[in-house]
Amino acid sequence: MKERSIDEFESIFERASIPVLDIEEVAINRISAVLKGEPLDDSVLVLAAYLKKRFEAQVDLHYPAICDGEPVLKAARKRGLDPQTQPFVSTAELVGQVSIGRAQLVLMAEPVEEEARFIDIDAMVQGTAPPVLIIRQPIDKPIDIFARILHSLTGNFQQTQNFSYSFTLVKDRGTLELLHTVDESDVEDVKKALRMSLEVDAYEAKELLESLARHAERYLKGVVAASHKRPFNVSYALAMGEVVPTVQAALAGGKYTLLVVGSHEEGHSRVSTSDYRLMHTVREIPVLAL
């Protein structure tokens, strides 16, 4: 009985010992600003100028080859930029131009046209290796975008979460909140990941979801532990339900300044279906698609 109790308590304390994640910040050294003649293009330049100064990064301007490059360059100089310019003839070429590698961030304004909005954003997010920051509102004080970040996480078992960009971008004394939503579709992902062929009943599915939530919570605590001694606050919340309404509800009550979705690992963008829906539904704040 004594041995059993010792084992029980040791395992309780082992469980309490959260593995601290090793989260390195990204030294962003290249900003790719995409200007396609949208009303919010100037905000892209404002943000690019801020990020250039903050990270001492090189800024590249990408604009459609059919446009005259001189006004674009003039507008950039007005914002204190002296960028390299790269005209492109197609979205495919643009994707190729901006997919240089890591330590890079792509900035683009949301197209006004409904159709272009979906096609352009999806093509960029799917095609480019670096994360894409989509601007949806005019920007006056770019630093404010990084004051209160909501990083949405889904329960996708196969996704490798990446917190490096959020940790890098959040401003000093800013807040990074991690919202992990576990929804029913995650059960299918788990089944696929574990190669489970059997059907699970409602009770088993509930158990599976709860276990996913526990797993996620432990993981999130490791992220919070990694933020110890950093100049910003990190907190987390767990939610059960559908991703889009859950995140929308959080955004409605949270005064967030940036939404981060998807994951980004070794130069590959992985944005799940729910992240795509989220990316197109949330319109009031900028979205960083990893």
Partner 1 sequence: MTFAALNILASVQEYAGQVAAYQTWFFAVILAVTLIALATEKIHKTILVLLSALFCLFLADFWGLFPRQEGHHLPVYIQMIEWEVIGIVIGATVFVEIAARSGVFTWISVKMLKASGGDPFKLLIFLSVLTAVFSAFLDNIMAMIIIGSLTVVACRRLELDPKPFLITEGIMTNVGGLLTLISSIPNIIVGKAADISYLKFLIVSGPYTVVALAVTMFIARRLFGKTVRPLAGEEARTHNRALVMAFDEWETVNDRRFFYTSIVAIILVILGFAFKAQIPILRDFGIEVVAMMAAVFMMLLHAKDVEHDLDDVEWSLVFFFVGLFVIIGVMERGGVLLKIGTSLERLTGSTGAVGLMWFTALFSSVTDNIPLAAMLAKIFGPTPEAAAALPPTQWWAVVFGANLGGNITPIGSASTVVACTILKKHGMKVPFMQFVKIGGVFALAQLILASGYLLILQAILSGGAG
- Where do contacts with partner 1 occur on this chain (CB under 8 A)? 2-3, 5-6, 9-10, 12-20, 218, 221-222, 225, 228-229
Select 94 or 212, whichever has its Cβ closest to partner 1.
212
Select 44 or 176, whichever has its Cβ closest to partner 1.
176
Whole-number minimum distance, CB 70 to partner 1, in Å? 53
Rounded distance, CA 152 to CA 226, Å?
Answer: 18
Return the number of other C-beta atoms located less than 10 Å from residue 162's C-beta: 20
Select 90 or 235, whichever has its Cβ closest to partner 1.
235
Residue in this structure with the two tokens 């539904």, named with its chain if needed: 281
CB 186 within 8 A of CB 155: yes
Select 15 or 141, whichever has its Cβ closest to partner 1.
15
Select 221 or 270, whichever has its Cβ closest to partner 1.
221
Return the number of other C-beta atoms located less than 10 Å from residue 245's C-beta: 12
Rounded distance, CA 67 to CA 38, Å?
Answer: 12
Whole-number minimum distance, CB 187 to partner 1, in Å? 23
Whole-number minimum distance, CB 128 to partner 1, in Å? 35
Whole-number minimum distance, CB 147 to partner 1, in Å? 25
Helix (H), strand (E), coil (C) string for 117-176: HHHHHHHHHHHCCCCEEEECCCCCCHHHHHCEEEEEEECCCCCCCCCHHHHHHCCCCCEE
Whole-number minimum distance, CB 88 to partner 1, in Å? 46
Whole-number minimum distance, CB 221 to partner 1, in Å? 5
Angle between helices 114-127 and 273-281 (to 10 degrees): 140
Return the number of other C-beta atoms located less than 10 Å from residue 197's C-beta: 6
Select 141 or 229, whichever has its Cβ closest to partner 1.
229
